[in-house]
Structure formats: C-alpha cells, structure tokens
Amino acid sequence: MNVVTEASAKIAFKSYKGLPNDELRQRIIAGKKTLGSKLLILGHHYQQDEVIEHADLTGDSLQLSDLAAKESDCETIIFCGVHFMAETADILANRPDRLKQRDGKRVSVILPDLRAGCSMADMAAIRQVESCWDELSEVVDTSRIIPVTYINSAASLKGFVGRHGGIVCTSSNAPAVLDWAFQRGDRVLFFPDQHLGRNTALKMGMTNDQMPVWDPYADEFGGNTEQLLVDSKVILWKGHCSVHQMFTADHVAGFRQRIPDIKILVHPECPQEVNDLADISGSTGAIIRTVKEAAPGTKWAIGTELHLVNRLKKEHPEQEIHFLSPVICMCATMYRIDLAHLCWTIENLINDCVVNVIEVDRETADHSLAALERMLAVK
C-alpha cells in the first residue's frame, strides 16, 4: 500500500466537504463492510456521537490501544482520537512480540485528521523536558528522580521517561504509579498535567509546598528557587487540559445552591479547588461507571468533556445529569475527527491508499514501550 498524506491522497478530501451526514454514514457502513476484519475503528469517549456510532471499540486512550494491540486480524487501525493516542496505538500494536507473530508485518495506524492534537500534550516539548532535567541535575541528584508522564503526552516524552527509568500513568492508576515511583526514588517529575499530579499527591498526604510548579518558559529553574526544588517531593509541570481547566469552584457552588441534593462528579484533571469540593473525582472510566451504577433519580453535575456528559445524559434518562460549566467547553481538537474525515480515510483504504499514518520511530517506540509496560505491571 502507498502511505500518503492528505495532499497526495488518491481521493482528495475536498470532495467530501459539505456532503450530508446521512450520505457519509451510509458510505462508511459500506466501506467497513468491504474491508471487514482487516479494519478496526477505535473511538475515544470524547468523540462526537455520529463518529462513535461507527467505532468497533470505544474507551479511553490506553484501553483502546491495548485492546487494539490484541486484535489478530486487523491490518489497519483508524483511531478516532488525537495524535498521542494514535502514537500509543502504534507503539503497542507494533511492539516486537506482535510483529513477530505477524512475521514482521506492521499494522498501519491512521489518524483521520492530522490536526487533531492535544493542547495539554503540546505544553511539554521534549527539548523543554530535557532542559528541565539538565537544570535539575545542578540542584538535586537526578538519579533519584523518577520521571512520570501522563498518557496524554507525545511519544517522545514517553521515550524520555523510558530511558530514565520512569513510567507512564493514566488518571485511574496515578496513585499506584506514584507509589511505584517513590519506592524507587526520592522525588517525582510529573508532566504534562499539573492538576492530575497535584490532586493525586494531595490525596496521598503530600502538601502543596512540597510540589513546586516548573514553568518551562521561566528564566531559571522553572521559576523556582533552589531550596524549593531541594525540598520538593513532586515537581509539577506547568500544563493543563484546556477543557477541565474551565471548571471552577463557583460552578460547584452555583449547582449546590440551586439543587441542594446534587452530587458533583469531576475528572482529576480539574483544578484543585474543584476537586476538593467534588463528591467524587475519577477518571473517564470511573465517571461512566459511577453514573451507570447510580440509583434512579440521582442528580449529577459532571465536570468533564461535553460530548461525554451529553452521551451519559441520553443513556441514563432515569437520572438528572447536568454539565458543570455554564460555558460550553469541549475537546476542540478531538472535534476535528468527523464523518467526512472518517469516510475519506476508509474509501482511500479501499483504493489501496493509506493516508495519515502515524508511525513512531523504533528507538522512541522501544523506550516508550518500556515505560508503558512498567505502568501495565503496576497494580
């Protein structure tokens, strides 16, 4: 197959612009039928409903990548998510043992729109993290720092973590990962999301004065004094999720005032003041399970991505579900994956043309895999 980008695709994307969703839907269904088990479509929880409809598997980023890696028949994965998710799928689906099982044949991983990135992941570039590490070595023993990167990060950062004896975490296993790290070192460098790192460490008994924030744009030591770094337990990166950053303590107070028996359910990527006021804070999977298991009549104000909250509202009419913020905040980059891009990628595949392939170089993939496998082994 020819591996190409949008500009040189056999079928130009511009011909799909403006097509009605009903037509695109029927063409996607027909395309999936033609390709059969050779194609696997993954849909992240934050995707639009019309895209999720066509996903063979739905879930969070790591769950989807891990499930995809275990598929034996598929030759191509279309990941309806964002760039770092497709990278993780490539790393896991094409790891050495899987390649050996397929006699060296790679599974192609496609991101329907290459502009579907992640603002949080973009807040930590590899050269910034490497510079941070070098500066830290002037103040503390970096051999006793365990780097931890959130799954929402570029493969280059996962590779950095893997090279330095560190580990990847998700929002659901962050406490177990931090425990693992402190069994092996004196302090943690946690990136790119400061809120997940802070909220997790606070629940483990650490205090904010033990968690300086490293600003990669500051002149020296990330804007910290040497003493702050010496006294640190967790060095947090100045990064955040643009969606979860939007939720505030005032939003929580407003719902509690209007609906006294409301329960506040939020993601740990939300700022500390929101997490502290919430009844429950948990990963995307935990949010879904919590609502699913709740009694009829339960009232929720949920602080996470809008498409997921609206989907929960449709799936659980027996409960009263509200979006925590009065301001619409959705994952805009995830929203770039639409029916037009999905249809375009499928029909190019049928024409023996693989577009928008995400492939991580072997060295980075190997180091990233080491960090991911450490995470998968943590219980």
% the chain with pLDDT above 70: 97
Distance, CA of 286 to CA of 186 (rounded, Å):
30
Distance, CA of 366 to CA of 303 (rounded, Å):
36
What's residue 243's pLDDT?
A: 87
What backbone phi and psi angles, to 5 degrees, belong to 125? -90, 150
Average pLDDT over residues 248-265: 97
SS3 235: strand
State how far Cα 267 lies from the chain centre: 13
Tens-place pLDDT, residues 163-205: 999 999 999 899 999 999 999 999 999 999 999 999 999 999 9
Residue 7 pLDDT grade (very low, low, confident, very high; cuts 50, 70, 90): low
Residue 223 pLDDT grade (very low, low, confident, very high; cuts 50, 70, 90): very high
Distance, CA of 41 to CA of 356 (rounded, Å):
14
Which residues lie across from 237 on neighbouring strands? 214
- The pTM for the full model equals 0.91
Residue 149 pLDDT grade (very low, low, confident, very high; cuts 50, 70, 90): very high
Tokens read off for 109: 């991983």
Per-chain mean pLDDT for the chain:
93
Q: Provide the 10 A C-beta neighbour count for residue 21.
A: 12
Please report which residue ranges of the chain form alpha helices under DSSP H. Answer: 21-35, 49-52, 61-69, 83-93, 96-101, 119-122, 126-136, 155-163, 174-182, 194-203, 226-230, 249-258, 272-277, 284-293, 306-315, 339-350, 362-377
What's residue 177's pLDDT?
A: 97
Tokens read off for 306: 């809008």
Lowest model confidence (mean pLDDT) among 21-25, 29-33, 55-59, 76-80: 55-59
Residue 312 pLDDT more than 60?
A: yes
Lowest model confidence (mean pLDDT) among 27-41, 61-75, 110-124: 61-75
Contacts of 198 (CB under 8 A, 6+ apart): 208, 211, 234, 236, 272
Average pLDDT over residues 135-141: 97
What backbone phi and psi angles, to 5 degrees, belong to 198? -65, -50
What's residue 9's pLDDT?
A: 74
What's residue 65's pLDDT?
A: 73
Q: Which residues of 25-39 are buried (b: 16+ CB within 10 A; e: fewer)?
A: bebbeebbeebeeeb
Average pLDDT over residues 145-163: 97
**Helix 83-93 and helix 362-377: axis angle, to 10°?**
90
What's residue 331's pLDDT?
A: 73
Q: Which of 145, 169, 156 is nearest to 377 (CA)?
A: 169
Residue 313 pLDDT grade (very low, low, confident, very high; cuts 50, 70, 90): very high
Tens-place pLDDT, residues 328-370: 766 767 778 999 999 999 999 999 999 999 999 999 999 999 9
The residue with tokens 């979860």 is: 244
Whether omega before 192 lies within 30 degrees of 0, making that bond cis, reads: yes
Residue 8 pLDDT more than 90?
A: no
Distance, CA of 179 to CA of 205 (rounded, Å):
12
% the chain with pLDDT above 90: 80
What's residue 72's pLDDT?
A: 73
Q: Provide the 10 A C-beta neighbour count for residue 138.
A: 11
Tens-place pLDDT, residues 41-78: 999 888 889 999 999 998 876 777 777 777 778 999 99
Are the CB atoms for 108 and 76 separated by under 8 Å? yes
Reduce the secondary structure of 12-81 to three states and give it as a string: CHHHHCCCCHHHHHHHHHHHHHHHHHHEEEEEECCCCHHHHCCCCEEECHHHHHHHHHCCCCCCEEEEEC
Tokens read off for 239: 């990064």
